[in-house]
Amino acid sequence: MNAEPVTRPIRTTCPYCGVGCGVLATPLADGGLAIAGDPDHPANRGRLCVKGSALGETLGLGGRLLRPQIGGQAAEWDDALDLVARRFQDTIAQHGPDSVAFYVSGQLLTEDYYVANKLMKGFIGSANIDTNSRLCMASSVAGHKRAFGSDTVPGLYEDFETADLVVLVGSNLAWCHPVLYQRLAAARDARGTRVVVVDPRRTATCDIADLHLALSPGADAALFNLLLAEIERRGLIAPDFTAHVEGIEAALAAARETPPFSTGLPHADLRRFLDLWTGSEKVVTVYSQGINQSDSGTDKVNAILNCHLATGRIGRPGMGPFSVTGQPNAMGGREVGGLANMLACHLEIENPAHRAVVQGFWAAPRMADRPGLKAVDMFRALEEGRIKALWIICTNPAVSMPEADRVARAIAGCEFTVVSDIMAQTDTTRLADVLLPATGWGEKDGTVTNSERRISRQRRSLAAPGEARDDWRIIADVARRMGWAEAFGWDSPAQVFAEYAALSGVAGALGGDFDISDHADIPEPDYDAMEPFLWPQSAGRRGGRFFHDGRFHTPSGRGRMIAIRPPVRRAADAALPFVLNTGRVRDHWHTMTRTGRAPRLSRHMAEPFLELHPQDAARLQLAPASLAEVESPQGRAVLRVLVTDRVAPGHPFAPIHWTGETGPTGRVSALVPGLTDPVSGQPASKSAAVAIRPFPAGWYGFAVSTREIGRAGDYWAQATLAAGQQAELAWRDAPQDWVAQAQALFGLDYEPLAMRDRSRGLVRLAFVRDGLLEAALFVSPEPVAVSRSHLADALGTTETADILAGRPGAGREDEGALVCACFGIGANRIAREIAAQNLRTIDEIGECSGAGTNCGSCRPELRRLLERACTAAGA
Ligand SMILES: Nc1nc2c(c(=O)[nH]1)N[C@H]1C(S)=C(S)[C@@H](COP(=O)(O)OP(=O)(O)OC[C@H]3O[C@@H](n4cnc5c(=O)[nH]c(N)nc54)[C@H](O)[C@@H]3O)O[C@H]1N2
Ligand SMILES: Nc1nc2c(c(=O)[nH]1)N[C@H]1C(S)=C(S)[C@@H](COP(=O)(O)OP(=O)(O)OC[C@H]3O[C@@H](n4cnc5c(=O)[nH]c(N)nc54)[C@H](O)[C@@H]3O)O[C@H]1N2
Ligand code: SF4
Ligand SMILES: [Mo]
């Protein structure tokens, strides 16, 4: 290994969340990349969170899809592309354009997205292209369009720093937009910004909250209606601004009717919120999936926008509503028209003038003239055989779609499925007829747009592995084979971007706000050198904020307030008494195809879990660390029980990251119904009605191995370690012979060291060869009590003397659960340092141990450890 730099750092952008941090990637002699934050990028000014910092660890070629496959066999590119083009052509010829579909992703680059959208909407002549952004941003898009007439985020990140009050609604910013969270936390330290978190769950984000409103799930529209009524009562409606807004009377009337007890909040908390919001002119209301992923998500968005429109607190420094985007290019996808109900450049598919303009620009033979199928309906149409050929690009719907089991069956049953991915084995690639290897982050060139409308370059720093090709090129190659060589004849992503920028100028001339025509026909060197910029960027306009001038994109030119009637909550079905909330953990990204490969990112949360309130746990007789079986009419999951009062009784939480690859019984979207918001079509992924019962585990197991761990038992969840893998296991019934079971798990045929404690039913087996620990399996009738970090650290080493004791021997210390992923520092070490050195602040912990001083993602956890130490000391 040679970790010397071989070239200067390449300026690029992180491929994870929508903060869109600039990254400096330095190619190393050993083929890897050194990763650092780009001090010159306006989104992060040098900061990175733990996922961004660990990018270099996710780039190995193990598991990559390196050649095209047809029917599971390696194939030549020409054969694969010919087959895809022919099957799509034949299907269209026989059954019409609406019998085919593309399901794409907010993780595609703008250039990839533009090409896919052009092919489907202008050339195939159907709008059956939808994106995983339907599961993510659709309600925000629909809410923006209702209120503003366009899908425009009015504000900028710097507003978080200049606001006096920041309200985070349904957003776990600390874990999901960590660098933006750090910017907010720094502003709060510097100038005392008030922070309110609105979330039924007490998340890490609450660490910096002056007020946490643990409202009843789904009660957000009621909360913001109550706020709107309070705004009116206090005379805070801004008449100069509302002169440019319609619908105010109806919205106020609906708000006045909202009963004050409909949020589930204590009166004093509600009062404090109303006082804070109405009392702070400079207020930013940030919202994310707790708002969007709801069967009334669009109404919730408009309930928030109403308050900003009524007070004129919009598009001015330090104030405005702010929808944070999830994926790195969720925003870019909205701009190119990746959703089934949009055209490119914010133009409307249902507007004949818009269609004609785009058709003319593309010289398109057959324009789609009505919206296509939205994600949930698209997979239903697949199930019913109405869609006969599907191309899935850069997303893993067999895991992430609601009713995921049903979606997986529909994909398996489709006559012809193509999947473009970077990885060979995912729950979705397994179902494909044709697999196309794509280049991934670091290997491709293009642009992305972040949450504040800033367009940045992703730049290539590594060669394409194997035969992988760029997504835009793969799609264009298929289009050329379908007979549209000229329209898809680009040679580089720069040329695609130049065409797109030119089209945006045409859209801008129609009055649209998305206009980057300064870059129309951009030459290659300028594209290479492009600096991050805010849109719009055209002859007349440059970045900045929107709507402070009262000019909107609705037909009347006025903004729109919407009368919101919060839904009446349904009584829970007695058979499905729990409302399951789902979301993300700090160190993993979605279906973990990349973050799951980094040992550093896999130790924070190593298996699928269920956060359950102590009352629920007691009633269900679920002990901490036991397993729960969760069932809904759509599916079933088995999850580790984490008993905590961070969640409310009746409202457990489970993370979304585990898959058939990493934890086959932990696929939580299999539990989620295909219920959607009527306006946006976005699924209600945060509120699945479920039943919960103890999983009857007779035996629990924990295994580590220097090689891949085979599947066994009735529960199995795997994670990557620096020296191999670990797995959590459970069996209903004991296997005949534990040694044989262990040998099968590890693919080893020799006798392990063994310890059996018959009174407690413990079996501990360690495979030691030439003094090195190759593998170990610990089993117990109770959840296995062993220091995971101790076994993980001993793996592949000669530190085997005390291995069967399950904890470090004298003179060695146990790290405990990982807290700081950057420096590998565990909870036990931090607790010891706090006690020994009498540490009082997070910064002191940092000075002493390094924890929390790099990316800062673990600072909320450090604060909790400090609090725990203080409580213990005081007790
Ligand atoms: N670490 C990490 N970061 C990520 C991602 C990742 O996979 N991992 N994914 C990225 C993507 S694509 C996205 S979309 C974003 C998502 O970012 P967030 O939306 O911040 O994340 P989630 O965990 O999905 O959900 C946010 C919160 O909504 C709360 N919630 C549930 N129901 C309600 C409700 O009725 N009302 C309110 N007010 N809140 C509710 C949940 O308790 C949860 O804490 O994260 C991005 N960043
Ligand atoms: N229950 C529940 N379900 C949810 C959510 C929730 O909160 N709760 N959140 C929803 C949200 S907001 C989102 S965004 C989705 C995310 O869900 P998905 O989009 O399904 O998740 P990812 O794991 O990001 O999938 C990306 C896939 O693209 C591959 N890939 C990576 N880079 C490239 C590339 O450059 N080219 C190609 N062709 N492939 C690439 C990866 O290997 C991976 O297989 O999940 C949704 N599902
Ligand atoms: S906050 Fe983290 S995941 Fe998001 S863009 Fe920045 S480094 Fe990447
Ligand atoms: Mo998302």
Query: Mind listing the pLDDT tens digit for each residue in 760-795?
Result: 889 999 999 999 999 999 999 999 988 888 899 999
| d(CA 327, ligand 4 centre) in Å | 5
For residue 53, give Cα distances in angstroms to 24, 25, 109, 414, 602.
10, 10, 21, 39, 14
Nearest to 134 by CA among 399, 318, 326: 326
Q: Which residues contact 153 (CB under 8 A, 6 or more apart)?
A: 144, 322, 323, 331, 451, 452, 453, 546
Q: Which residues contact 286 (CB under 8 A, 6 or more apart)?
A: 160, 166, 167, 168, 169, 171, 173, 322, 323, 324
| Out of 23-37, 115-129, 565-579, least confident range | 565-579
Nearest to 434 by CA among 449, 446, 421, 447: 421
Gap between the Cα atoms of 503 and 363, Å rounded: 12
| Out of 419-433, 481-495, 664-678, 806-820, least confident range | 806-820
H-assigned helices in 708-823: 738-746, 788-794
| d(CA 581, ligand 2 centre) in Å | 18
Whether 848 contacts 836, CB under 8 Å: no
Per-residue confidence at 812, pLDDT binned at 50, 70, 90?
low
Of 19, 199, 592, best ligand 1 pocket probe by most atoms within 8 Å of the beta carbon: 199
The model carries a pTM of 0.95
Could you give the percent of the chain with pLDDT greater than 70?
Answer: 99
Residue 729 pairs in a beta bridge with 701, 716
Ligand 2 near 494 CB (within 6 A): no
Helices 77-95 and 471-481: crossing angle in degrees, nearest 10, is 60
Of 130, 422, 662, 668, best ligand 2 pocket probe by most atoms within 8 Å of the beta carbon: 422
| d(CA 524, ligand 1 centre) in Å | 38
pLDDT in tens, 384-417: 999 999 999 999 999 999 999 999 999 999 999 9
Q: What is the pLDDT of residue 568?
A: 79
578-694 has which CATH code?
2.40.40.20
Q: Which ligand is nearest to the Cα of residue 131, counting in written order?
A: 2
Per-residue confidence at 252, pLDDT binned at 50, 70, 90?
very high
CATH number, domain 10-58, options 3.20.20.120, 3.60.9.10, 3.40.1280.10, 3.30.200.210: 3.30.200.210
| d(CA 569, ligand 4 centre) in Å | 26
Q: What would the mean pLDDT of 415-436 be, rounded to a whole number?
A: 98
Average pLDDT, the chain: 94
Long-range contacts of 830-835 (CB under 8 A, 24+ apart): 830/862, 830/865, 831/865, 831/868, 831/869, 834/865, 834/866, 834/869, 835/869, 835/873
User: What does the CA dihedral 327, 332, 334, 337 come to, rounded to 10 degrees?
Assistant: -130
Ligand 1 near 169 CB (within 6 A): yes
Of 584, 593, 659, best ligand 1 pocket probe by most atoms within 8 Å of the beta carbon: 584
Of 17, 180, 452, best ligand 3 pocket probe by most atoms within 8 Å of the beta carbon: 17
Whether 855 contacts 185, CB under 8 Å: no
| d(CA 170, ligand 1 centre) in Å | 7
Give the pocket of ligand 3 (CB within 6 Å): 14, 16-17, 19-21, 44, 48-49, 51-52, 177-179
Of 16, 421, 581, best ligand 2 pocket probe by most atoms within 8 Å of the beta carbon: 421
| d(CA 763, ligand 1 centre) in Å | 40
> Is it the case that residue 639 has pLDDT exceeding 90?
yes
What superfamily would CATH give domain 818-873? BFD-like [2Fe-2S]-binding domain (1.10.10.1100)
Q: What would the mean pLDDT of 608-637 be, rounded to a whole number?
A: 97
pLDDT in tens, 195-224: 999 999 999 999 999 999 999 999 999 999
Q: Which residues contact 351 (CB under 8 A, 6 or more apart)?
A: none
pLDDT in tens, 283-296: 999 999 999 999 99
Q: What is the pLDDT of residue 871?
A: 72
Tracing tokens 């946006």 back to the chain, one arrives at 680
Q: Which ligand is nearest to the Cα of residue 589, counting in written order?
A: 1
Q: Which ligand is nearest to the Cα of residue 52, counting in written order?
A: 3
Please give the radius of gyration of the chain, using alpha carbons only, rounded to the nearest integer: 27
Q: What would the mean pLDDT of 627-638 be, rounded to a whole number?
A: 98
Q: Which ligand is nearest to the Cα of residue 855, counting in written order?
A: 3
Q: What would the mean pLDDT of 135-139 be, rounded to a whole number?
A: 97
> Is it the case that residue 873 has pLDDT exceeding 70?
no
| d(CA 423, ligand 2 centre) in Å | 12
DSSP state of 686: T
Every domain of the chain and the residues it spans = 10-58, 69-135+329-531, 138-323, 578-694, 699-794, 818-873
Q: Which H helix or E strand runs over 290?
A: helix 289-292
Q: What is the pLDDT of residue 804?
A: 85
Which atom, in ligand 2's list, is nearest to the CA of 592? 23
Ligand 2 near 139 CB (within 6 A): no
Which atom, in ligand 3's list, is nearest to the CA of 14? 8
Annotation: CATH topology of 138-323: Dimethylsulfoxide Reductase; domain 2 (3.40.228)
pLDDT in tens, 649-705: 999 999 999 999 999 999 999 999 999 999 999 999 999 999 999 999 999 999 999
Gap between the Cα atoms of 316 and 320, Å rounded: 7
Per-residue confidence at 558, pLDDT binned at 50, 70, 90?
very high
User: Into which CATH architecture does domain 69-135+329-531 fall?
Assistant: 3-Layer(aba) Sandwich (3.40)
> Is it the case that residue 103 has pLDDT exceeding 70?
yes
Q: What is the pLDDT of residue 874?
A: 56
Nearest to 293 by CA among 191, 171, 153: 171
Which atom, in ligand 1's list, is nearest to the CA of 216? 35
Per-residue confidence at 419, pLDDT binned at 50, 70, 90?
very high
| d(CA 136, ligand 1 centre) in Å | 9
Q: What is the pLDDT of residue 832?
A: 87
Ligand 2 near 289 CB (within 6 A): yes
Gap between the Cα atoms of 661 and 674, Å rounded: 23
> Is it the case that residue 875 has pLDDT exceeding 60?
no
3-state secondary structure of 244: coil
Question: Going along 595-723, which residue ranges are E strands?
Answer: 609-612, 627-632, 635-643, 653-655, 688-694, 699-705, 715-721
| d(CA 572, ligand 1 centre) in Å | 24
> Is it the case that residue 801 has pLDDT exceeding 80?
no
